[in-house]
Chains A and B, each alone.
Chain A
Amino acid sequence: MAIEADALRDEIVALLPRLRRFARALAGHPADADDLVQIAVERALMRMDQFQRGTRLEAWLFAIVRNAWLDEARARQRRARIFAPAEEGENAGDARVSSAEARLQVNALQRAMQALPAEQREAVALVCVEGLGYREAAETLGVPQGTLTSRLARGRDALMRMMGETP
């Protein structure tokens, strides 16, 4: 049992980069995203007994990150504070984005994601950013698959419009 728990911890460490990416797609600001990942990891470790072998660990962790994000968003609403807008150039040190034009595109898409309603943003983040299948994404969010696909379609449609594409 203890060995299995250790193995699970190693798997969680290996998934940290993807959890950070997912959290960033949801929360926008990298520091906020890392806070979410930390909260989620702590919750996951406390509830390791609820993880069922045979289900994908990443989907389970994505669900916990997403719930931490919703909790935080609600708490902020209660405090009647407005979300800090994603800062421009927050990934300026990202060497993989080379040209200025690509840089602009990245910033614009990050902002566009933050403008999506939460329901659409989480669907886009799971499928388009994290590459989950429709069924798995629907299970992660706890919604029927038809609901997932229609949120996904609306989210993408809105992003394309914001990016000046005609869907």
Chain B
Amino acid sequence: MSVSDETLMAYADDALDAGARAAVEAALAADPALRARLEAHRRLQAGLRAAFDGALAEPVPERLVAAAQTRPPAAPVVDLAARRAARWSVREWSAMAASLAAGAILAFGLSGGPRPPAPDLVVADGALAADGALAQALERRLAADESGGAPRIGISFRDREGRYCRSFSVETVAGLACREDAGWRVALVTAGQGDVGGELRQAGAHTPQEILAAIDARIAGDALDAAEEAAARDAGWRAAAAP
């Protein structure tokens, strides 16, 4: 059997399940060239460890220890259960939207709690669509663009039907939208992560698990890198440009 580079890499990282591992081992036994590739992976792995392990052996500078031991003036420890993420499906959003006049901008209300700022969402043709500043950001903004405030763009990718999709966040709300002819259709919205500082989400590291799972379920190939993202935007997110 032939073993792909990614599979061999996963074998070297011990990231394969037992069945796949056995298959790679059988291939290794029969193929000296494959064994040589594996050895190259192991040499690189050992080299990378050696290149950076020096930091582990050195004494930690006092200023860093002091930074970690400083008691910040206000570090409120709150009950996490009280602010557990409330996940809103399209169905719930649609129900809420339907109770308002179509075309109206939704205010995002959580009963009893503070009201996080709303992404602009409207109901169009029975589905939830982006509007206003959110639609503008989905259409024009790049993930690296950090000027101004919300909404921010996370990951851009192409789904299995060739459409472009992008994850986004607005304050404590995160979502996933895909481009259709009429505009950006919102597939999923989650709320209530409570990340007040916003910095974690800024670089995409705080994309909620539900959104990541939704991306995994839709993505075809790899996420767009910065150049591909800019090119797709400049081409108007046309699905027709699919390879």
Contact = CB atoms under 8 A, between A and B. Distances in A.
A74 B10 contact: no
A37 B53 CA distance: 16
- Of A5, A24, A41, A138, most buried by chain B (CB within 10 Å of CB) is A41
Interface residues on B, range: 35 or more
Contacts of A133: 15
B52 A160 contact: no
Contacts of A146: 216, 219, 222
Contact of A142 (B63, B75, B207): B207
Contacts of A160: 40, 44
A45 B50 contact: no
Contacts of A16: 60, 64-65, 68
Given A16-B64, A97-B54, A106-B51, A156 B44 contact: yes
A144 B155 CA distance: 9
Interface of A: 1-2, 4-5, 9, 12-13, 16-18, 20-21, 24-25, 30, 33-34, 37-38, 41-43, 45-50, 52-53, 63-64, 66-67, 70-71, 74, 91, 94-97, 102, 105-106, 109-110, 113, 117, 119, 124, 127-129, 133-134, 138-147, 149-150, 152-153, 156-157, 159-160, 163, 165-167
Given A12-B68, A45-B68, A143-B155, 14 more contacts: A1-B77, A4-B77, A16-B65, A41-B67, A43-B199, A49-B80, A50-B200, A127-B13, A139-B209, A139-B212, A142-B205, A144-B155, A147-B219, A165-B43
